[in-house]
Amino acid sequence: MLNIAVLVSGGGTDLQSIIDACEQGKINGQIKLVISNRMKAYGLERAKNAGIETAVVKKDDDLIVSMLKERDIDLVVLAGYLAILTDTLIDAYPNQIINIHPSLIPSFCGNGMYGMHVHDAVLARGVKVSGATVHFVSSEVDGGPIIKQEACDISDLDNAEDIQARVLEIEHRILPEVVGLYCDGKIKIENGRAKVI
């Protein structure tokens, strides 16, 4: 059973999807720690309600790395974590950090593209299909190997909040699925590409 840490900044609905999957026995792992860079992130309350240790750490990846190492963390999940990781953390956990992004990478990603900014940009551009991507984290923002993507038709929607809600349904499905695959050792990287085996 792998030890998992989840980093959050907001409401923690993606975190809740992982908590639920762990409780249902769908993930061969346990969440040992939830870290937020925001004291009032509701994700911390979700973790506490599930009996999971929490911490608030602002802009100190050295401290985060030491906390993860102390708890023998095998996998780090960014679940709505609105901060760019430094090489300190990325190098300490190569191909052991995954992120959920609310678009179909490489569209609507990179610096400044997070949360509602993504959905606002999607709406402004008038795209007909959006979705979510789970990928490994690398030093390039949203540039690591893509593990899983799922698309949805948004041609009938005309506001960013509705787009977000539809994409969140996908996030809550594919993020715990990928965490489960990782914990089962079913993801490998070949030639810079992630493959499910």
Catalytic residues: 101
131 — alpha (psi -120 to 50), left (phi > 0) or beta? left
Q: How far apart are CA 112 and CA 50, in angstroms?
A: 32
Structure-block tokens of residue 115: 């949360």
Are 101 and 29 within 8 A, CB to CB? no
* Residue 74: Cβ-neighbour burial (10 angstroms; 0-12, 13-18, 19+): middle
Q: How far apart are CA 182 and CA 188, in angstroms?
A: 9
Q: How many CB atoms lie within 10 A of CB 184?
A: 14
Q: Say which DSSP state 138 is in.
A: -
Q: Say which DSSP state 10 is in.
A: S
Structure-block tokens of residue 179: 């965490």
Q: How far apart are CA 99 and CA 189, in angstroms?
A: 16
